Chain A
Amino acid sequence: AQSVAQPEDQVNVAEGNPLTVKCTYSVSGNPYLFWYVQYPNRGLQFLLKYITGDNLVKGSYGFEAEFNKSQTSFHLKKPSALVSDSALYFCAVRAYSSASKIIFGSGTRLSIRP
């Protein structure tokens, strides 16, 4: 069965510092991996995805994520945090072999202090 774990409910970072939001996954076979962001009272917005190829993926708003197959992880990163990055972040996984099922993690609330 597919699963996604986001071990931190909340991450607090000072503006200008680097940030990391962690995600680990479990699927049969190769994964497609996604990060989404949710602002208050809004639906989810796509940030970036890993399909194949380069393990470092770049996405919207200066975010990037690193795929690590041996550790089954897909951590979200940003070199310099902004207050406007404060939001709820979700990791999601889909297996190559699964027709259409996409599973989300429980979410991590990112709080950037000025």
Chain B
Amino acid sequence: NAGVTQTPKFQVLKTGQSMTLQCAQDMNHNSMYWYRQDPGMGLRLIYYSASEGTTDKGEVPNGYNVSRLNKREFSLRLESAAPSQTSVYFCASIRLAEYNEQFFGPGTRLTVL
């Protein structure tokens, strides 16, 4: 099992450019999440998908869109990148029961100039 994989690992964008961060899990997990991590702010939830076909906003959804393409894949799109979106982005997944722990990907370090 590869677990949770994220691509790319690093990305530099110019203000106004768009890009999609990819996340995939091979553990047959139902729920998937996108977080951003900023110094002193911890992890903040951007969007989550409780199950295939559903998505919901988290704490900081503005400027982002998501797609739950199938059970395995959950992508995060920045339509018009801004310097405030410079961050490390983590994808996570969880098995069906709500008391189970999350499995995290290695992260994508995004810089917006």
Contact = CB atoms under 8 A, between A and B. Distances in A.
Nearest to B103: A46
A101 B40 CA distance: 21
Contacts of B102: 34, 36, 44, 46, 102
Nearest to B44: A104
Given A100-B31, A101-B48, A43 B40 contact: no
B33 interface: yes
Interface residues of B, number: 27
Contacts of B50: 99-100
B59 A103 contact: yes
A34 B107 CA distance: 20
B8 to A, nearest CB: 15
B74 interface: no
A51 interface: yes
Interface in A22-48: 32, 34, 36, 41-46
Nearest to A34: B101
A54 to B, nearest CB: 15
A40 B44 CA distance: 18
Contacts of B43: 44, 90, 104, 107
Interface of B: 4, 31, 33, 35, 40-45, 48, 50, 56, 58-59, 90, 92, 94, 98-99, 101-107
29 contacts: A9-B40, A32-B99, A34-B101, A34-B102, A43-B4, A43-B90, A43-B106, A43-B107, A44-B92, A44-B104, A46-B102, A49-B101, A94-B98, A94-B99, A96-B98, A100-B50, A100-B98, A101-B48, A101-B56, A101-B58, A102-B33, A102-B45, A103-B45, A103-B59, A104-B35, A104-B43, A104-B44, A105-B42, A106-B42
